[in-house]
């Protein structure tokens, strides 16, 4: 009778060792998960920071583009006005010359 009892105790000891081993592995996994969660939180903070910076740069780029387009528009407008004035001056000179010749 002593043999089956010893066999049961031996199996129970093995089961306890297996359970202990599983608990240790779970504990290590939980620690690893905590580290991963902290890393993910850190990455999210960095991502948020980069998103804010990119938003600022996009706004700045759009503002510069609009300013450039406005400046170019003024330059084109001024150039066209100058051409009109030069044409008017040329016409007026021609008229003055014709009037002077007609005298």
The three-class DSSP label of residue 1 is: coil
Token pair of 29, please?
């996994």
The pLDDT assigned to 91 comes to: 92
Of 17, 73, 66, 39, give the one whose Cα is nearest residue 47: 39
The pLDDT assigned to 1 comes to: 47
pLDDT tens-place string over residues 49-75: 999 999 999 999 999 999 988 888 888
The pLDDT assigned to 99 comes to: 87
Where does the chain have alpha helices with state H? 2-102
Residues of the chain whose pLDDT is less than 70? 1-2
Q: pTM above 0.85?
A: no
The pLDDT assigned to 2 comes to: 56
């Amino acid at each position: 009778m002593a043999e089956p009892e010893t066999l049961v105790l031996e199996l129970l000891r093995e089961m306890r060792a297996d359970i202990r081993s599983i608990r240790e592995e779970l504990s290590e996994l939980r620690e690893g998960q905590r580290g991963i969660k902290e890393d993910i939180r850190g990455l999210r903070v960095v991502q948020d920071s980069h998103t804010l910076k990119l938003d600022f740069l996009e706004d700045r780029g759009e503002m510069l583009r609009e300013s450039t387009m406005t400046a170019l528009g003024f330059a084109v407008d001024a150039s066209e006005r100058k051409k009109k004035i030069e044409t008017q001056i040329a016409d007026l000179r021609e008229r003055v010359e014709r009037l002077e010749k007609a005298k």
